[in-house]
Amino acid sequence: MSDNSAVQAAYDQRWQRILDCVALKQPDRMPVAFFATFWLAKYGNISCKQLMYDYEKTREIAERAVLEFDPDTYSTLVLATASGRALEAIGFKQVQWPGHGVGDDQPYQYLDREYMKPEEYDDFIFDPTGYYLHTYLPRVATAFEGFEGLPKFPGLHYFRLVAGMRAFAKPSVRAALERVIKAAEEVERFSGHHLAFTERMTSLGYPCTSAVTAIAPYDFIADYFRGARGMMTDIYRRKEKVLELLDKCSVFLLKQAVATARSSGNPVIFIPVHWAPDAFMSDKQFREFWWPSCRKLLMGIIDAGLIPMPLWEADCTKRLEIIRDVPPGKCIYWFERTDMVKAFEVLGDVVALRGNLSPSMMTTGTPAQVDAAVKHLVDKVWAKGGKLILDTAFGLPDETPVENVRAMFDAARKYTG
């Protein structure tokens, strides 16, 4: 076998393990995933800031890590970390990152704020694109400041359309457009490094399973528009508007996810789930506000021949019976703190499972404890027929000692071949 065909075979074999799990077939061995963000800084002995700003160094460290741990699948190691220059270029206000609100050795953090006012629901629902251009984008990134002055496009026609173009001559609009073009050039460089890294990994035989992301409609509105407090009170104060916007979002979020996945050629769509946990809302609220629009998204992804992979954050034990309502053999459900044995009991005949070594154990425990935790999942889930992709609870916690990561991969090989 030539080197090239050997690499291709290795790639196919790893990918097949994931696809077998999704299809609820028995793979030749339990796949193990490598999902990391700022843990790479620890591994490469550099600061979080360097990881965010030095494209080449980050790629080199990420490649070294993948080669050392030899996983069946890896995450977007460059895209999820080396965004410093791009964030700076667009003047992104929703995140604080090293040198911009947090220290050089701290990961970036999202700022939960009200980015959409309660009285703006109707504007967003009526014309999402207009709302983005005139209101949302200038609010969340400095590069777009000035877009408030763009013309209101709907309604422009004939000579009214010609005259409407005057807005582009405004100094504030011109300056904004120039900033956006400059920012886009940096984003293009950043994306280029991500794509080059992915191609390099493919050439070494490793598939990625989080290249494309999507978001549940409720989380989209709660996290990125209304903020936690706003959304939680909106479900009482403006319930009808929330439901209307959820419905609208489920359409464009689905279209965007499917289009991105198709252009990337990667069928797995990673959906980090924030507001589904048991503690965050009642069963009735979950069934009314959270699940219907998310299910619509999941079904749309499945109907497009793609694979949704929600990461159910925190503990979602009480939701298991509800989220079981998807066709069998189509999804990967990644759980963070939900008891995986319980998840297997309820969902084992419907979805592949992913996860979920505890963050506190990974960061403060010993290699022997990691080994025991892997064995527990192997014995109670994998050996009983669960289609488990072994991973940590939401990716490697940044502080995880390297020996605990080695213990995770060693134990997976030791117990499942």
Burial of 322 (C-beta count, 10 Å sphere; 0-12/13-18/19+): middle
Least distance (Å) from other proteins to the CB of residue 288?
Answer: 12
Q: Is 398 in the site for other proteins (CB under 8 A)?
A: yes
235 or 372: CB nearest other proteins: 235
Touching other proteins, residues 39-68 (CB under 8 A): none
Beta strands 73-74 and 388-392, pairing class = unpaired
Q: How far is CA 37 from the centre of its chain?
A: 12
**Binding mask of the shown chain, residues 301 to 320, with x at each position contacting other proteins by CB under 8 A:** -------------x------
Report the alpha-carbon angle 93-58-263, nearest 5: 70
Terminal CA-CA length for the chain: 23
CA distance 74 to 227: 31
Instruction: Select the span of 77-85, 151-159, 232-240, 258-266 touching other proteins (CB under 8 A).
Output: 232-240
198 or 400: CB nearest other proteins: 400
Among 13, 14, 18, smallest CA distance to 353 is for 18
166 or 237: CB nearest other proteins: 237
- For the sheet containing 95-98, what is the strand order? 101-102, 95-98, 109-110
Q: Is 279 in the site for other proteins (CB under 8 A)?
A: yes
Q: Is 281 in the site for other proteins (CB under 8 A)?
A: yes
Beta strands 109-110 and 95-98, pairing class = antiparallel
At which residue do the structure tokens 């990691």 appear? 370
**Binding mask of the shown chain, residues 169 to 208, with x at each position contacting other proteins by CB under 8 A:** ----------------------------------------
Report the alpha-carbon angle 343-345-350, nearest 5: 75
Q: Is 364 in the site for other proteins (CB under 8 A)?
A: yes
Considering only 20, 88, 112, 288, the residue that binds other proteins (CB under 8 A) is 112
Considering only 109, 129, 203, 366, the residue that binds other proteins (CB under 8 A) is 109
Contact residues for other proteins (CB under 8 A)? 96, 101-103, 106-107, 109, 111-112, 228-229, 232-233, 235-237, 279-282, 285, 314, 358-361, 363-365, 397-399
